[in-house]
Structure 1
Amino acid sequence: MDRTPRPGDFYRHFKDKMYQVITVAVHSETGEELVVYQALYGSFGTYARPLSMFISEVDHEKYPEVEQKYRFERVDMVSEQPVAEASHQNQECMTSESCYRENKNLLAFLDAGTYHEKLEVLEDRKDRFSAEELMAICEIMEIGRPDSEPEEKYYAVKRYLELQNKYEGSRLR
């Protein structure tokens, strides 16, 4: 079975944190394949790890209490179940799915393909974005001030998207 991650796939790390794959990149000098992925918690950091390490099995001698077979296991976010062939359910792992539920507004925003769609998501979910989600959006888009209030961050994102949408729509194609 090919375990190479695809952009957009969700994975649970064996330490019970959720991530979304951005892409599989190739190191420009060594040719090594690297998985580029983003955390779905905290400050939503972006990381790169060698593909061989990403798809490797957990070292059960070092981590004997871990039930998960692989370091990262793909998760179907609709059913909230592992996609891997393992059929066991670990109740502790299921609690990390609350991370997804808590950040579903951010994920909807990030999944929107155009500035117009992002603006629609932002406006439709205005009162449902958490301060953490708004901070992550500002960090990703490199706008706003980190010390500003959530409402200020919301309006900074909105103004930015309106401006981008205006110029994207008027560009000659």
Structure 2
Amino acid sequence: MDRKPRPGDFYRHFKDKMYQVIAVAVHTETEEEMVVYQALYGSFGIYVRPLALFLSEVDKEKYPQVKQKYRFEKVDMGLVQPEKGPCTVTTEKKNEENMGNSGQSQGNPSSAPNPRENKNLLAFLDAGTYHEKLEVLEDRKDRFSAEELLAICEIMEIGRPDSEPEEKYYAVKRYLELQNKYEGARLR
């Protein structure tokens, strides 16, 4: 199986933080392939790392308690496993275990991925600035599911997981307004 990341793919770092791949670039001097990726939490920083290191296995001597095999493991943001919580994503490996040779999900037909695939969440994550994220949030206020709002709160590390969806919405909105205000003031 080709593990090379593609733009738009989501990955979980072994320290349990989420990232989205922006591109696989080539270093101009060494011609080494580099992964350009963005954090899906905090200030949404953008980072670059050599492809070989991005795809490497976790050093089990240095981090013996880590259960994840690879430093970064691909996740499918469209799949949900309700038994683990309302917004738990599954790893690509678990997804493959549930697939037959034909690529069709086996067993319960209700376990098939939702064709909607959290399009409101994806629109929010694709927005580049705090201002754009706030616009997506406000434009789609009544269309965000409780699971999508929970995912946004978890990614941004804000709000309480046990709060109502409306509380989560306003926590995200306040956070984005605050970030937008201070980011705009910094540019003046």
For normalisation by structure 1, the TM-score amounts to 0.59
Larger mean CA deviation between 24-33 and 77-86 belongs to: 77-86
Residue 70 of structure 1 aligns with an amino acid whose one-letter code is Y
Alignment of 1:67-146 (within 5 A): 67-79=67-79, 80-84=89-93, 107-111=122-126, 121-125=136-140, 128=169, 129-134=172-177, 138=180, 144-145=184-185
Q: Cα distance, 1:124 vs. partner?
A: 1.4
Distance 1:71 1:119, change over 3 A: closer
Q: Check conservation: 1:21, 1:37, Cα contact below 8 A.
A: yes
| Alignment root-mean-square deviation, CA | 3.3
Distance 1:48 1:5, change over 3 A: same
Distance 1:135 1:75, change over 3 A: farther
Q: Check conservation: 2:21, 2:37, Cα contact below 8 A.
A: yes
Q: Cα distance, 1:144 vs. partner?
A: 1.8
In structure 1, the residue matched to 2:151 is none
In structure 1, the residue matched to 2:53 is 53
For normalisation by structure 2, the TM-score amounts to 0.55
| 2:185 match: secondary structure | coil
Q: Distance in 1 between matches of 2:65 and 2:32?
A: 31
Residue 124 of structure 1 aligns with an amino acid whose one-letter code is D
In structure 2, the residue matched to 1:20 is 20
- Deviations, residues 78-117 of structure 1 (Å, cap 9, x unaligned): 1110013686xxxxxxxxxxxxxxxx9775235369xxx9
In structure 2, the residue matched to 1:65 is 65
Residue 145 of structure 1 aligns with an amino acid whose one-letter code is A
What is the count of residue pairs matched by the alignment?
124
Q: Check conservation: 2:133, 2:176, Cα contact below 8 A.
A: no
- Structure 1: tracts of 5 or more residues without a match: 88-103, 147-173
Which runs of at least 4 in structure 1 moved beyond 3 Å after TM superposition? 104-107, 117-120, 125-136
